[in-house]
């Protein structure tokens, strides 16, 4: 059965979590091959506000490996401004220790407007049992659809009052 977590724990997992380590292996290409044109980077900022899930989100039980939590947010162009989409995230505890552990989070951003489509992201991040507000973290963009087909990059998530400030750096 899923376990509810304190607000700070849920915030850490919100929209992914920290940068996941990845190793890319590529074969060398022949000297005659033309270098690929540099990909264009798009940078934009949105604000996420978690939507109520109906549960209290509080428990005194420490998380255990395999516990998970899911949540969703509405995305806005400015705090309290025009809605720009939504997201959904699921985080699973993959390491649990007395003072904290690691979460593996995967999520999808559904974006509307001038550029529309979905961006997927994932991250592995440490959490602590304290109630302190988490620092900024990065979410690796692992793919996309629509205007974000073949997307890569990252999203920097920074706590901003009752919102999360999301700075997207997307290359496709």
Residue 127: pLDDT band (50, 70, 90) is confident
Question: How far is 19 from 56, CA to CA, in rounded Å?
Answer: 28
CB neighbour list of residue 74: distance below 8 Å, 6 or more residues apart: 48, 49, 51, 83, 85, 86
Query: Using an 8 Å Cβ cutoff, are 77 and 46 in contact?
Result: yes
pLDDT at 8: 39
Q: Which stretches of the chain are assigned E, i.e. beta strand?
A: 41-50, 68-76, 83-97, 100-111, 117-128, 137-144, 152-160, 163-171
Written as six digits, the tokens of 44 are 């934009």
CA–centroid distance for 78 within its chain: 18
Each residue of 54-69: pLDDT tens digit? 765 556 788 899 999 9
Section 136-144 average pLDDT: 95
Section 15-21 average pLDDT: 30
pTM above 0.85, yes or no: no
Query: Using an 8 Å Cβ cutoff, are 68 and 92 in contact?
Result: yes
Q: Which helix (H) or strand (E) holds 7?
A: helix 7-13
């Amino acid at each position: 059965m899923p376990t509810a977590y304190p607000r700070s724990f849920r915030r850490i997992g919100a929209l992914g979590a920290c940068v996941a380590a990845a190793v890319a292996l590529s074969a060398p290409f022949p000297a005659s091959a033309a270098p690929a044109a540099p990909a264009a980077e798009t940078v934009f900022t949105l604000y996420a506000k978690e939507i109520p899930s109906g549960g209290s989100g509080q428990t005194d039980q420490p998380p255990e490996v395999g516990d998970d939590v899911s949540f969703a947010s509405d995305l806005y162009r400015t705090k309290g401004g025009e809605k720009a989409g939504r997201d959904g995230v699921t985080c699973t505890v993959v390491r649990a220790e007395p003072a904290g552990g690691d979460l593996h989070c995967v999520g999808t951003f559904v974006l509307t407007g001038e550029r529309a489509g979905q961006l997927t992201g994932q991250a592995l991040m440490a959490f602590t049992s304290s109630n302190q507000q988490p620092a900024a973290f990065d979410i690796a963009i692992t793919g996309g659809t629509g205007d974000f087909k073949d997307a890569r990059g990252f999203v920097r998530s920074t706590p901003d009052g009752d919102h999360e400030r999301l700075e997207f750096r997307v290359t496709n």
